[in-house]
Amino acid sequence: MNWLTNLIRPRIRSLVEPKEVPDNLWQKCSSCEGMLFNRDLIENMNVCYHCGHHLRIPVKDRLEQLFDEGKYDNITLPDVAHDPLKFKDRRKYADRIKDSRAKTGLQDAITIAKGTMGGLPVVIAAFNFSYMGGSMGTGVGEAILKAAEEAVKAKAALIAIPASGGARMQEGMLSLVQMPRSIIAVEMVKEAGLPYIVLLTDPTTGGVSASFAMVGDIHIAEPGSTIGFAGRRVIEETVRETLPDDFQTAEYLLEHGIVDMVVKRQELRETIIRIISLLTKAPAQEAVKKGNGTKGNGGKRGKAGNPKANGKALPGGEKAALKTEQKELAAKALKQVKAAQKTAQKSSKSLSAKEDLKEDTGQNAPGRSQAS
């Protein structure tokens, strides 16, 4: 009987008993509700490979995707009073801060990093929505000022990547004061003649969208991002109208001229490098490898207009392909400009029509009163 208990019974149990499956293998897409294998999702930069929806991404992963070879230096955040008002609602504000720090491993809702993109110096201030909804308090305001100072000091472009619900209400008026302070930080960068680029991600709302997030030289947005000030329901109750389904999305703001371009996450790095190179009139090394397992662009570039691969001149076929790619990019940019011009013409026509209507009603009003 020993062979039955020692051999057969364990085999039967292994077949019948349910096997434990780790909880972090799969994730559901919030848009199409398709099941996503985490390893494949990470390789696709947290973009759903069923519908193309851009899921939120940790700050660490985003910085690795943007900087050359995924390498960068973290800048220490300034020390501030974390609970100046001794605020308490259902829980103490100090306890909420402790929980957020333990959950994310971050000091505050923002991370400042410096490095290079395409060989060009860059300072990035990126928000983490997992830390109290990326809300902006005194610590975040000081960090934005610090990022601006570092950019001016290093003569680097400043890139802001907001993902925030707005001002942190637990700090009251002190959080609202950070809005004008962040504008001062941006002005420091602009006065130094350095590029200030804003990458709008999901979500960018409240006091953040009403301050530094909307005063960039160039505004880039990820597809499907929610961008606005007040919530949709609040606006509908105020104006008493039903808003369009795509209201406050990146695509809606692009159509109405608030956002300059909507770029997929896989193309963000190349797009930002190209913009910084154009604004600073400095050649970029487009072939510098990216981090987080993504591939580079092939051969390096030396001076502008002098493509090289491993120090050697490119063959004729590759040169032709490069010229074709440049023509396609130029044609795409021209289309965007024409679309923006058409939108501006439509808006000006509608405004003039409204003014004509007001004049007509103003002229007809006395006649009506006399007739009555």
The 3-state DSSP class for residue 150 equals: helix
Rounded-to-integer distance, Cα 134 and Cα 109, Å: 5
User: What is the per-residue pLDDT across 59-112, written as a single tens digit (0 to 9) for each?
Assistant: 999 999 999 999 999 999 999 998 999 999 999 999 999 999 999 999 999 999
Rounded-to-integer distance, Cα 352 and Cα 331, Å: 32
> Quick check: 338 pLDDT over 90?
no
> Quick check: 177 pLDDT over 60?
yes
Got the DSSP string for 18-54?
PPP--TTSEEE-TTT--EEEHHHHHHTTTB-TTT--B
Location of structure tokens 């679309």 = 339
Task: Return the beta strands (E) in the chain as ranges.
Answer: 26-28, 35-37, 73-75, 110-117, 120-127, 157-161, 196-200, 218-221, 261-262, 308-309, 312-313
Residue 308 has φ and ψ, to the nearest 5°, of -135, 155
Task: Name the maximum alpha-carbon separation found in the chain.
Answer: 114
Please give the model's pTM, rounded to 2 decimal places.
Answer: 0.74
Residue 24, number of CB atoms within 10 A of its CB: 7
Rounded-to-integer distance, Cα 276 and Cα 197, Å: 9
> Quick check: 6 pLDDT over 90?
no
Q: Which two tokens stand for residue 138?
A: 């005194």
The 3-state DSSP class for residue 157 equals: strand
Q: Which two tokens stand for residue 105?
A: 């491993």
- Domains of the chain by residue range: 57-314, 318-351
Is the CATH code 3.40.605.10 the one for domain 57-314?
A: no
Give how far Cα 233 sits from Cα of 134, 210, 236, 239, Å. Answer: 21, 18, 5, 10
User: What is the per-residue pLDDT across 101-150, written as a single tens digit (0 to 9) for each?
Assistant: 999 999 999 999 999 999 999 999 999 999 999 999 999 999 999 999 99
